[in-house]
């Protein structure tokens, strides 16, 4: 039995449905997230996977009401424990953030205020906790720093962010995010700015905290290795849309979207581990500029399977047969999804229109 | 802003630069002299014994100190202690308090000339037991026989019993208004004062009314130093308030405040100050305080513009978003996270404004728009006489202004080195 099945019987923690987010700027308007739907269950890690510009961070920020200026949720809802976060007013949202949802950002140095000590950051996160005196907060802050594996937490609490290493900063950020034992942790590229060896420690920390607090994690990443080792489910995003949704086991064994398949091909561990010293491949072309999305399927310019109706019919995200490995539901947005698994093994076919 | 505590970095920067360090110490010395002026220069003795011989005595100087004076002196010692030993965070608060009291203190003339010297001379007290301060003159104590007496360590200042100058080329100067040449009259040496021709009698000379210039310089330092600090503090507060509001809220608030900034910048500041001071009532506000606020009123836009630019840069910074992700309100994000990071350039501007404010005060007082007689300030001391022969009346106050303003600017330079983001690259390179 997979963790997903266990989760499915429980309540849904976060239920995002048909969420669309638009950026309005001087250069025109851009639909950064187009009708994205996904769910996070308690104790489950869901990964939003995609290249930069795919809309994965925007989707998360939309849920958190932390969109930068010019960003606006156009349609859809994000139900968190029954409440639609998109429709909460500012004051209600502030009560949810920090207390029930913790956030870890990509760049821990930029996300920590340079003029405050680490201890003050954690104490500030604890501010809303009812019945916690100033002294108790101080003590609790040091405990939290110890919990996230920082050596000599007393000293770290007195240090300013620039005095710590990248990994220590990210641990401090995590201490801030989990200070009030949130039921959902949103982690936006939490390990991308870190060395590989440090990454492993941070991800291990996420796993142990998830077990301890029982929180759901929404993990935003471009790194398939991170997904493989930490996530239960993966939502692959491309050009603002979710193109494939499956349990991680199914996704890696049998990708049903050509984009997923090619992402897997381009990954070093997959390439060298499973298939000897095969050449590492990149996906030709690049993510289309969201403001000039091609007609039909957004991936067709880079897709070896593209033909015929791909040019004018955008494939909807449709459920397919449950995954062979996990037995959990999966869906994909491709007209020729059955041909996709073969791409993992097949020699590279250059796309039809390389111009 | 690369790292933690602003004050710690400023202190380190000053310590690392010998010139700035010397300037800071000199300024501290000046401030100490100004605060302690009533204890250094006074026409009241510290202590004098009763003539009755019963052993009783009086402490005239300490009895005359107002509560405000005592508070000022205590606060100053606290500030010094904090600077030397304490955590530096609250130094700023105490120093600001000192400046405020400082600004208010000279307006209340509690240190008017006393009759203690006469009473001692009359035999009410035991003359030998009187202990006078190092400078036994009050700032308003006149001695007309010594009008325009040069510094007494000069040979040309020697006066005979009859009151005439013994030698020296200097003939008695006619009064600039009446044209009357003062007839020499014997110089009275009162109880506790140095002998008539002692070098310590008036080491910096005397002014038109025979008041001791050194004593007046000491008291004048209070106004001149306080106005600089007070005006910079007020200018900083006003500028930060307006700049932060404009930068953080944006939209029509920003538009309105930015146009306001530009309008104020267009005014010829000095004449605006003159205009306001000419119509200000010295009975309502001590002139030293109103000068400081008027300087602040025309000086805040430069700080406001810097703060606005910094807040605009920082309001969407990652750590501000991170604070909002913890449920911080916009106001809290502004006060706790945006502002502390945005203040660097404003602090630099304010530290240079201290010297600027002191200069404006000197100019105003020189023109007669400053503090009212008999309270001295360095500017009004310098305008005491425009006669070339009375060089000591122009030289010493002028030197005091020069040295203190140069000191402020040298310290300001060190503050800039510590805080200006434009110099950050150079700082890193130097390490």
- B6 interfacial to chain A (CB closer than 8 Å): yes
Q: How far is the alpha carbon of B417 from chain A, nearest alpha carbon, in Å?
A: 18
Q: Is the pLDDT of residue B93 over 70?
A: no
**pLDDT, tens digit, 9 for 90 and up, residues A14-42:** 999 999 999 988 877 888 898 899 999 99
CA distance B123 to B5: 60
Interchain proximity A124–B323, CB inside 8 Å: yes
Question: What is the pLDDT of chain A when averaged over all its residues?
Answer: 84
Taking CA atoms, what residue in A is nearest to B338? A113
CA distance B386 to B401: 17
What is the ipTM for the molecules in this complex? 0.84
User: Shortest CA distance to B160 belongs to which of B187, B137, B189, B138?
Assistant: B187
Q: How confident is the model at residue A2 (pLDDT cuts 50, 70, 90)?
A: very low
CA distance B145 to B143: 6
Q: Which element (helix H / strand E) includes B118?
A: helix B116-121
Q: How far is the alpha carbon of B3 from chain A, nearest alpha carbon, in Å?
A: 5
As a whole number, mean pLDDT of residues A209-222 equals 91
Edge-to-edge strands of the sheet including A14-25? A28-40, A14-25, A71-80, A83-84
pLDDT at A346: 58
User: Shortest CA distance to B3 belongs to which of A157, A342, A187, A115?
Assistant: A115
- A58 interfacial to chain B (CB closer than 8 Å): no
- The CA-based angle A146-A152-A153, given to 5 degrees, is 45
Q: How confident is the model at residue B429 (pLDDT cuts 50, 70, 90)?
A: very low
- Sorted by where each begins, the domain ranges of chain B are 6-41+66-109+214-430
What contacts A314, CB < 8 A, 6 or more positions away? Answer: A295, A296, A297, A298
CATH, domain range A3-100+182-344: 3.40.50.300
Tokens of A164: 């710590």
Tokens of B282: 């010295």
Using CB atoms and an 8 Å cut-off, which of residues 154-193 of chain A contact chain B?
Answer: 160, 162-163, 173, 176
**Other beta carbons less than 10 A from residue B98's beta carbon:** 22
Q: How confident is the model at residue A9 (pLDDT cuts 50, 70, 90)?
A: low
Q: How confident is the model at residue B104 (pLDDT cuts 50, 70, 90)?
A: low
Question: What is the pLDDT of chain B when averaged over all its residues?
Answer: 83
**pLDDT, tens digit, 9 for 90 and up, residues A50-88:** 888 888 999 999 999 999 888 999 999 999 988 999 999
Q: Which of B6, B319, B324 sits opposite A113 (nearest CB)?
A: B319
**pLDDT, tens digit, 9 for 90 and up, residues B310-324:** 999 998 889 999 999
For A48, phi then psi, to 5°, come to: -95, 115
Angle between helical axes of B18-35 and B391-419 (0-180°, round to 10): 130
The single residue listed with the structure tokens 């300024």 is B27
- A64 interfacial to chain B (CB closer than 8 Å): yes
Q: Which element (helix H / strand E) includes B368?
A: none
As a whole number, mean pLDDT of residues B204-230 equals 88
The CATH architecture assigned to B6-41+66-109+214-430 reads Orthogonal Bundle (1.10)
- Sorted by where each begins, the domain ranges of chain A are 3-100+182-344, 108-181
Chain center to CA of A160: 28
**pLDDT, tens digit, 9 for 90 and up, residues B348-395:** 999 899 999 999 889 888 888 877 777 888 988 888 888 888 889 999
**pLDDT, tens digit, 9 for 90 and up, residues A180-192:** 999 999 999 888 8
């Amino acid at each position: 039995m997979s963790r997903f099945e266990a989760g499915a019987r429980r309540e849904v923690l976060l239920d995002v449905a048909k969420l669309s987010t638009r950026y309005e700027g001087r250069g025109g308007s851009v639909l950064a997230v187009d009708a994205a739907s996904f769910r996070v269950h308690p104790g489950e890690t869901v990964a939003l996977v995609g290249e930069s510009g795919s809309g994965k961070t925007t989707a998360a920020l939309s849920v958190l009401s932390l969109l930068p200026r010019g960003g606006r949720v156009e349609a859809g809802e994000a139900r968190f424990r029954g409440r639609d976060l998109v429709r909460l007013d500012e004051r209600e949202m502030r009560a949810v953030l920090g207390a029930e949802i913790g956030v870890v950002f990509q760049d821990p140095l930029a996300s920590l205020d340079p003029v405050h000590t680490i201890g003050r950051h954690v104490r500030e996160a604890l501010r809303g906790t009812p019945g916690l005196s100033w002294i108790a907060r101080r003590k609790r802050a040091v405990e939290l720093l110890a919990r996230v594996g920082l050596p000599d937490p007393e000293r770290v609490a007195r240090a300013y962010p620039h005095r710590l290493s990248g990994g220590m900063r990210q641990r401090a950020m995590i201490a801030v995010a989990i200070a009030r034992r949130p039921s959902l942790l949103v982690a936006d590229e939490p390990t991308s700015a870190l060395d590989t060896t440090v990454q492993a420690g941070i991800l291990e920390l996420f796993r142990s905290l998830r077990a301890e607090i029982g929180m759901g994690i929404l993990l935003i990443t471009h790194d398939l290795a991170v997904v493989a080792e930490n996530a239960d489910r993966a939502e692959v995003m491309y050009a603002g849309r979710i193109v494939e949704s499956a349990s991680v086991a199914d996704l890696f064994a049998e990708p049903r979207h050509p984009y997923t398949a090619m992402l897997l091909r381009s990954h070093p561990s997959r390439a060298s581990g499973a298939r000897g010293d095969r050449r590492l491949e990149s996906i030709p072309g690049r993510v289309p500029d969201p403001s000039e999305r091609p007609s039909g399927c957004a991936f067709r310019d880079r897709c070896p399977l593209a033909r015929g109706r791909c040019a004018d019919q955008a494939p909807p995200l449709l459920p397919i047969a449950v995954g062979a490995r996990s037995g959990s539901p999966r869906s994909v947005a491709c007209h020729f999804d059955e041909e996709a698994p073969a791409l993992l093994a097949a020699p590279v076919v250059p796309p039809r229109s390389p111009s | 802003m690369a790292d933690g505590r602003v004050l710690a970095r400023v202190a380190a920067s000053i310590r690392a630069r010998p010139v700035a360090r010397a300037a800071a110490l000199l300024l501290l010395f000046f401030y100490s002299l100004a605060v302690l002026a009533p204890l250094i220069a006074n026409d009241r003795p510290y202590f004098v014994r009763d003539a009755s011989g019963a052993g009783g005595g009086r402490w005239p100087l300490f009895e005359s100190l107002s509560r405000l004076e005592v508070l000022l002196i205590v606060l100053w010692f606290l500030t010094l202690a904090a600077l030397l030993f304490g955590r530096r965070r609250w130094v700023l608060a105490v120093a600001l308090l000192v400046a405020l009291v400082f600004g208010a203190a000279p307006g209340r003339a509690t240190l008017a000339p006393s009759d203690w010297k006469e009473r001692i001379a009359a035999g009410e007290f035991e003359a030998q037991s009187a202990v006078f301060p190092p400078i036994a003159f009050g700032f308003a104590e006149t001695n007309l026989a010594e009008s325009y007496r040069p510094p007494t360590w000069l040979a040309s200042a020697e006066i005979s019993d009859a009151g005439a100058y013994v030698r020296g080329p200097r003939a008695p100067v006619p009064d600039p208004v009446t044209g009357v040449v003062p007839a020499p009259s014997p110089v009275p040496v009162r109880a506790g004062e140095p002998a008539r021709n002692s070098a310590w009698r008036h080491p910096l000379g005397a002014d038109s009314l025979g008041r001791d210039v050194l004593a007046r310089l000491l008291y004048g330092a209070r106004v001149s130093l306080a106005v600089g600090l007070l005006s910079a503090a007020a200018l900083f507060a006003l500028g930060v308030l307006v700049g932060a509001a404009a930068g953080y809220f944006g939209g029509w608030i920003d538009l309105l405040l930015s146009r306001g900034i530009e309008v104020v910048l267009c005014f010829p500041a000095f004449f605006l100050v003159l205009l306001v001071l000419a119509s200000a009532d010295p009975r309502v506000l001590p002139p030293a305080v109103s000068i400081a606020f008027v300087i602040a009123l025309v000086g805040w836009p430069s700080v406001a513009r810097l703060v606005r630019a910094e807040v605009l840069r920082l309001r969407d910074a990652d750590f501000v978003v991170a604070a909002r992700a913890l449920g911080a309100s916009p106001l809290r994000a502004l006060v706790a996270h945006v502002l502390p990071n945005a203040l660097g350039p404003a602090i630099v501007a304010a530290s240079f404004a201290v010297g600027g404010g002191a200069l404006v005060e000197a100019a105003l007082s020189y023109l007669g728009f400053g503090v009212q007689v008999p309270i001295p300030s360095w500017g009004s001391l310098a305008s005491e006489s425009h006669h070339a022969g009375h060089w000591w009346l122009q030289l010493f106050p002028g030197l005091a202004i020069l040295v203190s303003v140069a000191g402020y600017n040298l310290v300001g330079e060190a503050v800039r080195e510590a805080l200006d983001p434009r110099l950050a690259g150079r700082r890193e390179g130097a390490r």
